[in-house]
Structure 1
Amino acid sequence: MEDLQQLVRECLVNNRRSQEQLYRKFYPALFLLCRKFFSQPEEAVEVLNDGMLQVFTQLEKYDAAKGELFNWVYTVVRNTALDKIRKKKWPVHAAIEEDVIVTQNNIMSKLAWEDIYKLLDTLSPSTRAVCTLFYLEGFPIKEIGEMLQQSPGTVKWHLSETRSKLKPILEQYYLK
């Protein structure tokens, strides 16, 4: 723990080696996070790098009393990914009003990461983001709508789209 605190102190004075060490320490988990949102590994790395730049430029805002450094970094990188998704102009779909049934034991939680990425790659970027936030990150519909600046109805539409696109694939390959 002391090593991490020392690393943060060195990063605060722009020590490039310490920044690289912190980057490498968190890279595996943060890459997996970014990969959930973006189908191309290059795009995931780009967002990860943008997020880590935010981390290093805002590191003085980190408060150890409020939580672990990794959780703060994870949130900064996730928000960077969401910002990129918001800024892109995705096709707008008509929202449908349908109740979304949430189950604690969803199939996504039972798959290997490689399989989840293959499934996510079949979705449009905006639908992929909603799916990731809802099923993998556990955010409620209202918060997802606020994060992505979408109405709850649009978020529900994306969840419906996720189910309609993934159900045949899951039935064919994973639910035998």
Structure 2
Amino acid sequence: MEDLQQLVRECLTNNRRSQEKLYRKFYPALFLLCRKFFSQHEEAVEVLNDGMLQVFTQLGKYDATKGELFNWIYTVVRNTALDRIRRRKWPPHNEIDEEAGATQNNIMSKLDWEDIYKLLDALPPATRAVCSLFYLEGFPVKDIAEMMQQSQGTVKWHLSETRNKLKPILEKYYLK
């Protein structure tokens, strides 16, 4: 723990070696986070790098009394990924009123990570982001709508699209 606090203090002085150590320490988990949102390896790394740049420029705002450093970094990188998705121009989607809720036996929780990423690759970026936030991160529809700056109906539409696109794949390959 003390090593991490020392690393943060050194990062605050723009010590490049310390920044690299912090980056490498959290890279595996943060890359997996970005990979949930982006199918292309290069884009996931690019977003991770953008997020870590935000971490290093805003590290002075981190307050250890409010939570763990990793959780703060994770949130900054996740928000960077969501910002990237929001900046894209998506074709308008029809909103639906269908209730979208997580089922008790969420199939995503039963799959290996490699399988989940293959499934996510079948989804368009915005739908992929909503699916990741809902099924993998556990956020409710209301919170996802706020994060994505979309209506709850649009978020529900993306969840419906997720089910429509993934159901045939799951039935064919995973639910035998």
TM range (shorter): over 0.9
Aligned to 2:105, what secondary structure does the other structure show? coil
* 1:47 alignment counterpart: 47
Distance (whole Å) between structure 1 residues aligned to residue 161 and residue 13 of structure 2:
47
Distance (whole Å) between structure 1 residues aligned to residue 70 and residue 151 of structure 2:
30
Distance (whole Å) between structure 2 residues aligned to residue 51 and residue 70 of structure 1:
13
**Structure 2 letter corresponding to 1:139:** F
Aligned to 2:82, what secondary structure does the other structure show? helix
Distance (whole Å) between structure 2 residues aligned to residue 100 and residue 38 of structure 1:
23
* 1:86 alignment counterpart: 86
1:55-94 Cα distance to aligned partner (Å, 9 max, x none): 0000000011111100000000000000000000111110
Distance (whole Å) between structure 1 residues aligned to residue 60 and residue 100 of structure 2:
40
Aligned to 2:160, what secondary structure does the other structure show? helix
Q: Does 1:27 align with 2:9?
A: no
Q: Does 1:60 align with 2:55?
A: no
Q: How does 1:70-85 map to 2 (within 5 A)?
A: 70-85=70-85
1:1-33 Cα distance to aligned partner (Å, 9 max, x none): 000000000000000000000000000000000
Aligned to 1:21, what secondary structure does the other structure show? helix
Distance (whole Å) between structure 1 residues aligned to residue 33 and residue 102 of structure 2:
22
Distance (whole Å) between structure 1 residues aligned to residue 34 and residue 74 of structure 2:
10
**Structure 2 letter corresponding to 1:68:** E
- Report the RMSD for the aligned CA atoms in angstroms: 0.7
* 1:166 alignment counterpart: 166
1:145-168 Cα distance to aligned partner (Å, 9 max, x none): 111111111100000000010000
Distance (whole Å) between structure 2 residues aligned to residue 157 and residue 15 of structure 1:
46
1:93-127 Cα distance to aligned partner (Å, 9 max, x none): 10111012322430001111110000000000010
Among all aligned residue pairs of Structure 1 and Structure 2, give the percentage whose two residues are the same amino acid: 84
* 1:123 alignment counterpart: 123
TM-score normalised by L of structure 1: 0.98
* 1:69 alignment counterpart: 69
* 2:98 alignment counterpart: 98
Stretches of structure 2 lacking an aligned partner (at least 5 in a row): none
Number of paired residues? 176
Aligned to 2:103, what secondary structure does the other structure show? coil
